[in-house]
Amino acid sequence: MTVDTRALRNSFGNFVTGVTLVTTVGSDGKPIAMTANSFSSVSLDPPLVLWCIDKGSDRLGIYQQAQHFAINVLAANHQELSGRFAKKGQPYMDGVDYAVWETGCPVIPDAVAIFECDKLASHDAGDHIIYIGYVRRFQTPETAGKPLVFHRGAYCALA
């Protein structure tokens, strides 16, 4: 079967998602981030999550070697941050307000949720790799505002 990938991508885009920054530390010790909406919760016990990276990503090598990553669920006011870390060649977090948790992963303090993970497994899946994370620490700020929302290739807000 020949797949019209553009049509398929558009169809996938009808599934409304949040937006995350997946952060980690490079082998040079520099904090790294990437915008991703492929995040999903997987299991409560044990606590597992997943996200997927495009094999064509320039950041693939960094996430392949990383033992840990943090999922930062972005707030409605984080659209600029999302745009910045969706650009090629700009993985470094210079000038971003972040904290560092136990694994060394940078986290965005005003994200609506944060999940710090051990990378438990990676699975080859077509043109992507699926990373499974074991959640070792998480945070949901009481003051968490509304999340950033993505639908049909555009940012939107909850009513």
Strand pairing category for 106-107 and 113-125: unpaired
User: Could you give the residue ranges of the DSSP H alpha helices within the chain?
Assistant: 5-12, 60-65, 79-84
23, 24, 37, 72: residue in contact with ligand FMN (rule CB under 6 A): 37
Of 6-14, 40-48, 71-79, 81-89, which part binds ligand FMN (CB under 6 A)?
A: 81-89
Q: What span, in angstroms and rounded, lies between the C-alpha atoms of 129 and 85?
A: 19
- Contact flag: residue 49 with ligand FMN (CB under 6 A): no
Q: What angle do CA 139, 53, 87 make, to 5 degrees?
A: 85
Q: What span, in angstroms and rounded, lies between the C-alpha atoms of 107 and 12?
A: 28
13, 26, 30, 38: residue in contact with ligand FMN (rule CB under 6 A): 38
Which residue, 34 or 73, is less far from ligand FMN as judged by CB?
34
- Contact flag: residue 52 with ligand FMN (CB under 6 A): yes
53, 70, 75, 105: residue in contact with ligand FMN (rule CB under 6 A): 53
